[in-house]
Chains A and B, each alone.
Chain A
């Protein structure tokens, strides 16, 4: 099973700041990686799939990059509604699908 490790566990930032979140896979997942946003009491929301493709309706301030084992989600300028937990997920040679442990982006 492929293990995804996200770092850091928590980020404390202010609105308007640039955010870079990291996801590292225990073995290559090619570009088969997605990012989700999760807020308390809400369903997860697909942001990025295929490492760099924005899902429908996702604003351009969200971007993804990487391939192989190292991936990044970047939020160019934090909006108040972006404070949430972000999860990466891989689907290389699935099943199974696996998720990272999440990074919490909180208000500083």
Chain B
């Protein structure tokens, strides 16, 4: 059974930094591209970033480009989101999700974690 578990959320001041982790199990992690998606309180879903199965390509949404960085460690079945220069509008539940297409980067979100809450507030 596939399990994705996010961690690292919490309360941070505006301008601060946070690193989120996503630990994968029950999944051939090295075969799957991975995404980060968030949902702000009372809002819809927003795609943030994607990293290919081997880390060779990374894409970030314009809203976080230059502030957030996606990475992965295939030896430990983990993915990360480094978040800098945080703003109040980054307050959200952050989800990691595996790409449905495996090696082929389909851009659909198959398995999801339960999310970790990030609150940016002074």
Contacts and interface: CB of A to CB of B under 8 A. Distances in A.
Nearest to B99: A91
Nearest to B112: A43
B64 to A, nearest CB: 11
A95 B100 contact: no
Interface in B67-86: none
A39 B50 CA distance: 24
B62 A96 contact: yes
Given A34-B108, A91-B106, A97-B107, A43 B44 contact: no
Contacts of A95: 47, 50, 59-61, 107
Nearest to B60: A95
B13 interface: no
Interface residues of A, number: 23
A46 interface: yes
Nearest to A6: B44
Contacts of A87: 44-45
A65 interface: no
A91 B107 contact: yes
Interface of B: 35, 37, 39, 44-47, 50, 59-62, 95, 97, 100, 106-110, 112-115
24 contacts: A34-B109, A38-B39, A38-B45, A42-B114, A43-B113, A43-B115, A44-B37, A44-B45, A44-B97, A44-B109, A46-B108, A49-B100, A49-B108, A55-B110, A87-B44, A87-B45, A89-B47, A89-B108, A91-B106, A95-B47, A96-B47, A97-B35, A97-B47, A97-B107
